Amino acid sequence: MPPRTTIFIAALLIGLLHAYVGARVLPDLPVPLLAKLLGGAWLLLSWPLIPAALLARRLSHPWSDAINWVGMLAMGLFSSLLVLTAARDLVLLGCRIAGWQPPWLLPGSAAAVLLLALAVTALGFLNARRVARVVEVQVPVEGLPAALDGFTIVQISDIHVGPTIKHSYLARIVERVNSLQPDAVAITGDLVDGTVRELAPHTEPLARLRAGHGSFFVTGNHEYYSGADPWIAELRRLGVRVLMNEHVVIERDGHALVLAGVTDYSAHRFDEAHRSDPARAIDGAPDRAGVRVLLAHQPRTAPAAAAAGFHLQLSGHTHGGQFWPWNLFVPMQQPYVAGLDRHQDMWIYTSRGTGYWGPPKRFGAPSEITRIRLVRAGAGAT
């Protein structure tokens, strides 16, 4: 399908959904006619703002970021309005079937849709824009040498530096990561939404990451949308080790920890030479390694990682759904959504992400900076 046709169909669908919300909610709102007209005007404005936000970055216009900000805020609000309107219609249908229709039901439920959508959007904005909280996770490893007991990896993921996430946002993340004094830092993909030329000044804080054994990065799908090879070169320039289906061996008191990384699960669609390969990433690792950790952007790498003999996989990609109800759809694509899970004999931790994508909105899926602590089996997993 030609791109223009796709854009037209998407814009038409967005318009029809806006019309649905307006037709189902505005007439029943217990407010003066002028307020209803203003609500209708907002929906008419929101309709073009959403596709404009998605296209703004391609325009390289001085106002592109401003258009993106307004459009993404509109998208966040409209998504809640749409879901709550559909939920209201289901409730109204149930009440009609049950024969229960008090006079306050229509105006009260319409007002509830609007107020809840505004509240969720406002809270979601505050949650998205604050510095991610630190989540502490202990991962028990069978046979972990005492020298590696307590080894910490601080994971950040899915920051999405781009139109609404800039230098200051990333600098606050780096400051908090450094305050944790990690043994290693793992950046598990989707760092950027834009080219090196556009965003290099805003990713500069990564050069200030400090960890006992260094900082490591693996590509996510958004790096391939933005130009993976230039970003790989830029991260190396900033002093971050990029793991491309390869590993490093970290020594501590005569014991070895293998830290490996693979390219994104879908990387071969953009460059066959970047095909994700956990077996290749671990190839040549010393047999004496007390623990083998894999950085892989998408959780669905887990079966191949477990087969390759890894003890732990650190992933992101899902954002934990970012805001309800989209978290309900993540399991359709990914085997794990958030938190610590077990895949056969391997642990997998899926970060909810440290930034956000699209609307500056997080609700029910808080952002996180994760401090992974390796412990000897018997200490339990938390």
Count other C-beta atoms under 10 Å from residue 190's C-beta. 28
Residue with tokens 């307590």: 150
| Crossing angle of helices 3-25 and 105-129, rounded to 10° | 130
pLDDT score of 288: 87
Supply the pLDDT for residue 328: 81
pLDDT in tens, the chain (382 residues): 556 677 788 889 999 999 999 999 999 999 999 999 999 999 999 999 998 887 776 666 667 888 999 999 999 999 999 999 999 999 999 999 999 999 999 999 999 999 999 999 999 999 999 999 999 999 999 999 999 999 999 999 999 999 999 999 999 999 999 999 999 999 999 999 999 999 999 999 999 999 999 999 999 999 999 999 999 999 999 999 999 999 999 999 889 999 999 999 999 999 999 999 999 999 999 988 889 999 999 999 999 999 999 999 999 999 999 987 777 888 888 999 999 999 999 999 999 999 999 999 999 999 999 999 999 987 556 6
Assigned fold of 133-376: Purple Acid Phosphatase; chain A, domain 2 (3.60.21)
Distance CA 304, CA 294 (A): 11
Residue ranges of the chain assigned to CATH 3.60.21.10? 133-376
Residue 164 CB neighbours (<10 A): 22
**What was the pLDDT predicted at 58?**
67
Instruction: Provide the sign of the torsion angle of the four alpha carbons 334, 335, 336, 337, taken in this order.
Output: positive
In this structure, how many other beta carbons lie within 10 angstroms of the beta carbon of residue 150? 14
- Alpha carbon distance 211, 154 (integer Å): 9
pLDDT in tens, 182-195: 999 999 999 999 99
pLDDT of residue 5: 78
pLDDT at 325: 78
Distances in Å between the alpha carbon of 284 and those of 52, 248, 281, 304, 355?
Answer: 49, 10, 9, 17, 35
- pLDDT tens, residue by residue, 15-48: 999 999 999 999 999 999 999 999 999 999 999 9
Query: In Å, how far are 15, 107, 218, 228, 229 from 316, measured between CA atoms?
Result: 33, 42, 11, 18, 21
User: From CA 43, how far away is CA 40, in angstroms rounded?
Assistant: 5
- Single pTM value for the model: 0.93
